[in-house]
Amino acid sequence: MKITELLHLHEGFRRLPYEDTEGHLTIGVGHNLERPLSTRAIETILEDDINEARGELDRIYPKWIHLTETRQNVLIDMCFNMGAPRYQTFKKFWEALRRHDYNAAATELLDSKWAGQVGERATRLSKMMRDG
């Protein structure tokens, strides 16, 4: 038996955090979350999360892929940050984007509760949307 098979057998496989028998927050195949994650693990999670955001954008606005890379990055960043359900509530932003009115879309990003929550991030993304 391979070591990965043995550890799966003994530790199980959990996608969500749980407390182990000693009360330690654990995830995956017995990974104790009180231990630091490796750089490789963090980058893998980030890559997965970016791909998930891209998939959500494919679903909610398939034409996003035809935007400039800079504007695509704005959409990915925002979807990553807040998730597609909340992102879809930016009605005026999406209307402006569909009209290719990037100035209006940039303004709508700043005219939101989200902008107040994320501060400089919103300012930067608004400028990126405007400048393309």
What domains are defined for the chain?
3-32 (no CATH), 39-131 (1.10.530.40)
Rounded CA-CA distance 90/104 in Å is 12
pTM of the shown model: 0.88
Q: What is the pLDDT of residue 33?
A: 94
Q: What is the pLDDT of residue 2?
A: 96
Residues of the chain with pLDDT under 50: none
User: Where does residue 73 rank: exposed (0-12), middle (13-18), buried (19+ CB within 10 A)?
Assistant: middle
Structure tokens at 112: 């939101």
| Amino acid making up residue 120 | E
Q: What is the pLDDT of residue 14?
A: 95
Rounded CA-CA distance 76/96 in Å is 17
Chain length of the chain: 132
Q: What is the pLDDT of residue 123?
A: 98
Q: Which helix (H) or strand (E) holds 48?
A: helix 39-60
Contact 70, 132 (CB under 8 A): yes
pLDDT per position as a tens digit, 7-20: 999 999 999 999 99
